[in-house]
C-alpha cells in the first residue's frame, strides 16, 4: 500500500520530467526547480497524483517481472523428468507443485502399471494434492465420480497411495461400490484382501468421515477398527462393516499405504515403482469394481 506523498522544502522528488527540488510551499501550491534550472509554480495535489501513478506503474512492472520469473521457473521444473518427491511437494496446496502431472509421477506409474484387461492413464485431482489412475475407457463414462481408482495423495508429512473406492449417495446397484460389496461376500475374496492389507501394511479409512471416522487395519490375521481413544474393536466381516457404514450415505474409502515424508523423498524416482507394484497387486480389486465379482 502506498503512503501519501508529503512535500518538504529543500527535499528532492521525481516526476515525469525528472528530478526537482521544492523551493517553497504556499498552502496548496508549491514552487519547484528542476536540475536544469527551470522553475514553476504547481499544484501540490497534481504532483502527488503524478508521483503516485509513477510509483504504482513501477510496482506493477516489478510484480509482472516477478510473475514471469516464477512462471519460467515452474515451467522449467515441470519439463524436468520426475526425479522424486521434494520437500515443497508435501503440502495441502497444489501451488508450485508438479509431481501430479503425466510428465511426472503420473505418467511413470501409468507406464509401469501393465494389465491385459485395462489401459491406465493418470489424472490430477482438481485443486487437491492427489493424482489418480484409471482405465482410459472407463474414464470416459458418465459415472466417473463413483468409479474406483488407484491414487496417490500427500499431506504436510506423508505420502499415501493405494485403492480409492467412492460410495456416492444414492448408490445404484451397478456402481463400483455395489460390485465390490458383492465381491466381498465371497469369503475367499475377503481373505485375499485381508492378506494383502497385512502383507503390505495397508489400512482402510473414510476421508469423508461420513461413514466411519476411524481406521481399519489387520492385526493377528483379523480386521481391527481403531477410533479415537476407544479400545480397538475386532471386525468379523469387512463387507458387513462397510455395508453398515454406507447406511450413513457417502463414503470416500481409501485402502492405502502410508509413507512418511522423509522416506518418500529418500526413495527418489524409485517411489514410482513402489506405487506401480502395489497397484498391480490390487488389480483384482479394481477388476471387481469395474467388471463385477469373479
> Is pLDDT above 90 for 153?
yes
- Percentage of the chain beyond pLDDT 70 is 96
- Cβ(196)–Cβ(257) under 8 Å? no
Per-residue pLDDT tens for 200-244?
999 999 999 999 999 999 999 999 999 998 899 999 999 999 999
Residues 6+ apart with CB under 8 A from 260: 157, 158, 159
Per-residue pLDDT tens for 94-146?
988 899 999 999 999 999 998 999 999 999 999 999 999 999 999 999 999 99
Distance CA 224, CA 232 (A): 6
Average pLDDT over residues 159-182: 94
Is residue 74 very low, low, confident or very high in pLDDT (cuts 50, 70, 90)? Answer: low
Q: Which of 3, 43, 38 is nearest to 17 (CA)?
A: 38
Amino acid 3: pLDDT = 59
Average pLDDT over residues 35-39: 94
* ∠ CA 196-200-202, rounded to 5°: 80
Amino acid 1: pLDDT = 44
Average pLDDT over residues 23-29: 94
* ∠ CA 241-242-244, rounded to 5°: 70
Amino acid 164: pLDDT = 98
Amino acid 109: pLDDT = 97
In this structure, how many other beta carbons lie within 10 angstroms of the beta carbon of residue 133? 24
pTM across the whole model: 0.74
Amino acid at each position: 500500500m502506498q503512503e501519501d506523498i508529503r512535500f518538504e522544502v529543500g527535499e528532492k522528488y521525481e516526476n515525469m520530467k525528472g528530478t526537482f527540488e521544492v523551493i517553497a510551499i504556499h498552502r496548496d501550491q508549491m514552487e519547484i526547480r528542476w536540475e536544469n534550472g527551470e522553475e514553476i509554480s504547481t499544484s501540490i495535489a497534481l504532483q502527488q497524483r503524478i508521483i503516485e501513478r509513477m510509483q504504482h506503474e513501477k510496482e506493477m512492472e516489478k510484480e509482472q517481472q516477478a510473475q514471469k520469473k516464477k512462471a519460467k521457473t515452474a515451467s522449467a521444473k515441470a519439463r524436468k523428468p520426475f526425479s522424486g518427491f521434494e520437500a515443497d511437494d508435501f503440502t495441502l496446496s497444489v501451488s508450485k507443485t508438479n509431481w501430479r502431472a503425466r510428465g511426472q509421477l503420473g505418467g511413470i506409474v501409468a507406464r509401469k502399471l501393465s494389465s491385459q484387461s485395462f489401459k491406465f492413464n493418470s489424472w490430477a485431482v482438481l485443486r487437491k494434492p492427489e493424482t489418480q489412475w484409471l482405465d482410459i475407457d472407463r474414464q470416459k463414462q458418465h459415472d466417473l465420480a463413483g468409479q474406483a481408482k488407484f491414487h496417490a495423495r500427500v499431506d504436510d508429512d506423508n505420502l499415501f497411495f493405494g485403492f480409492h473406492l467412492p460410495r456416492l449417495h444414492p448408490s445404484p446397484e451397478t456402481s463400483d461400490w455395489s460390485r465390490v460389496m458383492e465381491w466381498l461376500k465371497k469369503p475367499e475374496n475377503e481373505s485375499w484382501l485381508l492378506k494383502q492389507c497385512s502383507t503390505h501394511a495397508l489400512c482402510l479409512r473414510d476421508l469423508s468421515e461420513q461413514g466411519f471416522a476411524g481406521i481399519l487395519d489387520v492385526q493377528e490375521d483379523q480386521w481391527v477398527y481403531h477410533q479415537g481413544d476407544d479400545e480397538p474393536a475386532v471386525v468379523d466381516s469387512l463387507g458387513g462393516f462397510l455395508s453398515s457404514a454406507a447406511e450413513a450415505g457417502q463414503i470416500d474409502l481409501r485402502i492405502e499405504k502410508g509413507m512418511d515424508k522423509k522416506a518418500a523423498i529418500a526413495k527418489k524416482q524409485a517411489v514410482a515403482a513402489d506405487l506401480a507394484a502395489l497397484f498391480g497387486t490390487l488389480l483384482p480389486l479394481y477388476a471387481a469394481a469395474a467388471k463385477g465379482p469373479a
